Amino acid sequence: MAERPDPQPGADADFGAAVAEVVRSIPSGRVMTYGDVAAVLGSRASRAVGKVMAHEGADLPWWRVVRAGGLPPVRHEARALEHYRAEGTPLRQTRAVDDDTAWRLDMRRARWSPPRDCWSD
């Protein structure tokens, strides 16, 4: 898979549309990390994926794009948990150490990757 150059914020409207397409493809009850979404697009720009989600994610299933450690988007933990429970997304209990979240996504079971033929070339 050829890597796309990392987009500059606001410089590539096609990147935002591509992110939205990948996010819409994530099945109910499954998740991808910001880095996973970028990788599908042939990029390493996980932060750019985060920017797209922050600016355009309201109309997308935003709770299905998570941080690499299995935590939901920052400041959206409670709303995301409602979605995860409704969709049956695999969760695991943790002891809250550095934040108030006493759960994480069970990434081994919840992480999804689209079929390879959907990946950017």
pLDDT at 101: 65
**Ordered mean pLDDT values, 10 residues apiece, the chain (121 residues):** 51 85 97 96 94 93 96 92 97 72 91 78 51
- The predicted structure's pLDDT at residue 115: 82
Q: What does the pLDDT read at residue 118?
A: 62
Place of tokens 């150490």: 97
Q: What is the pTM of this model?
A: 0.82
The CATH code of domain 13-104 reads: 1.10.10.10
Helix, strand, coil % over all residues of the chain, rounded to 5? 45, 10, 45
First to last CA, the chain: 5
| DSSP codes of every residue in 51-92 | HHHHHHGGGTTGGGEE-TTSPPSTT-HHHHHHHHHHHT--EE
What is the predicted pLDDT for the residue at 24? 96
Using CA atoms of 114, 118, 119, 121 in order, give the dihedral in degrees to the nearest 10: 170
The pLDDT of residue 57 is 87
- For residue 65, the number of C-alpha atoms closer than 13 Å in the C-beta half-sphere is 27
